[in-house]
Structure 1
Amino acid sequence: MDPFLSALSGLAWTIVYIDAIRIGFRQRTYAIPLAALGLNFAWETTYTVHDLTGEVSPQGWINLVWALADLAIVYTFFAFGRAEYPRWVPRSLFAAFGTLVFAASYAVQWLFIAEYGVHEAARYSAFLQNLLMSGLFIAMLVARRGLRGQTLTIAVAKWLGTLAPTILIGVLDHSSFVLGVGLLCSVFDLVYIGLVVWLKRHPDAGAAADAPTPAPGVRLPAQRVVGD
């Protein structure tokens, strides 16, 4: 059971990253929320270095593949992400803020290691940032008022990628913390999957939410789009 769950998690997250890269370049946006992207990239690079130096572990090679895939998603954020921010945010401020988030993400990972040691830090930080990611995907869908940069494939694979280690560590290894946080991840992931399915069936719902609702008898003036 352990190898199967580990392989399922590795495959599912690889699918998430591949589809995030595909949709990111296709729609010229980033497909993973910034804070989650920063924490994921910091986690993967930190534990890739740890697991591939000294006694090499198979997980280290998986982390390396994930880190390289995440690097492409990081590129989509800095290349296309400015368009997702308000117009008053200059590109220099956007780049500085993104850099700050990535630097803070590394600080968080290293503080976990300093507090709990490598083994426990890897588990605790991974599940906490997955819980954050599950909430941020819902927030991203709401903020973008639709499925730009999001797919059902990412939603389902993300859920399975976290569910498998929840069973492996939370149930089989008897970790109450991992089991509890992992189940919370599933709750948010299933909500997100439901929202994605609903928006796929009602593609005009997001656009309709953008339109102002006039009071009875009031005629709204025609709107014009101002170039950036």
Structure 2
Amino acid sequence: MDLFLTLVSGVAWTVVYIEAIRVGLRDRTYAMPVAALALNFAWEVIYAAGEFATGISAQGVVNVVWAVADVAIIWTYLRFGRAELPEFVTRPLFAAWSALVFATGFAVQWLFLAHFGTHDASRYSAFLQNLLMSGLFIALYADRRGPHGQSLVIAVAKWLGTLAPTLLFGVVEDSPFILGLGVMCSVFDLAYIGLLLRGRAAPAGDLPVRSRPVPSR
């Protein structure tokens, strides 16, 4: 059961990342909220290294696949993200801000690791950043006034990819804290799925697209 749920999570999140790359390239934007992207990338790099330090494992392989996919999503953010910001955000300012966000992602993961140890930190940080991502996807939909740079495949795969470890760590391993976080993730994920389904059902004219400023060079 443990291996099955780990593989379900791994496959589902891999679908999220591949679809995020595809949608980002298609819509010339980034398909994952940047704060969550930074935390995810840091988590994957840190815990992939930790897994392989003690030998090859299913989770270690999954972490490496996710980290490689995240590099491509980060590229879409760096390539297209500045166009969604106000004009005063120059290229150097965007670069400095991006460096700060991704450095903060690593700092947060190291703080979790230092305080909780590998076993608890890997789980607590993963579910907390997952909950953050769930909320930020809804905020992204609101900010873009529709499903630009998003897809139902991402939403459903994210929900399933979170539900599997919720059952594994929250139910099988009997962790009420993780179970509670996982349930909250599901609530937000299902709300986001509902938004995207509503967007599909609504006529195109009912979903205004935010005009994006073109930053000065």
* TM-score bin, normalised by smaller chain: over 0.9
Q: Please tell me whether the aligned partners of residues 83 and 213 of structure 2 are also in contact (alpha carbons under 8 angstroms).
A: no
Q: Please tell me whether the aligned partners of residues 155 and 189 of structure 2 are also in contact (alpha carbons under 8 angstroms).
A: yes
Q: CA deviation at 1:226?
A: 8.4
Q: CA deviation at 1:4?
A: 1.9
> Which residue matches 1:204?
205
Structure 1, unaligned runs of 5 or more: 212-224
Residue 207 of structure 2: SS of its match in structure 1? helix
> Which residue matches 2:80?
80
Matched residues in 2 for 1:167 and 1:60: separation? 20
Greater Rg by CA: 1
What's the CA shift string for 1:179-215, capped at 9, x where partnerless? 000000000000000000001111333318x69xxxx
Pairing 1:14-163 to 2, within 5 Å after superposition: 14-163=14-163
Structure 2, unaligned runs of 5 or more: none
What's the CA shift string for 1:111-138, capped at 9, x where partnerless? 0010000111000000000000000000
Q: CA deviation at 1:5?
A: 1.3
> Which residue matches 1:221?
none
Q: CA deviation at 1:69?
A: 0.2
Matched residues in 2 for 1:170 and 1:120: separation? 12
Aligned partner letter, 1:180? G
Q: Please tell me whether the aligned partners of residues 82 and 94 of structure 2 are also in contact (alpha carbons under 8 angstroms).
A: yes
What's the CA shift string for 1:38-72, capped at 9, x where partnerless? 00000000111111123332211110000000000
Q: Closer, same or farther in 2 for the Cα pair 1:198/1:122, shift >3 Å?
A: same
Matched residues in 2 for 1:14 and 1:35: separation? 19
Matched residues in 2 for 1:123 and 1:153: separation? 25
Paired positions, count = 214
Matched residues in 2 for 1:98 and 1:18: separation? 22
Q: Closer, same or farther in 2 for the Cα pair 1:94/1:2, shift >3 Å?
A: same
State the identity %: 58
Tell me which of the two structures has the higher relative contact order, counting C-alpha pairs closer than 8 angstroms and 6 or more residues apart.
Answer: 2
Aligned partner letter, 1:189? D
Matched residues in 2 for 1:188 and 1:204: separation? 26
Aligned partner letter, 2:157? A
Residue 29 of structure 2: SS of its match in structure 1? coil
Matched residues in 2 for 1:13 and 1:95: separation? 28
Q: Which runs of 4+ in 1 moved over 6 A?
A: none
Q: Closer, same or farther in 2 for the Cα pair 1:85/1:54, shift >3 Å?
A: same
Q: Closer, same or farther in 2 for the Cα pair 1:167/1:227, shift >3 Å?
A: closer
Matched residues in 2 for 1:72 and 1:196: separation? 24
Using structure 2 for the length normalisation, give the TM-score: 0.94
Using structure 1 for the length normalisation, give the TM-score: 0.90
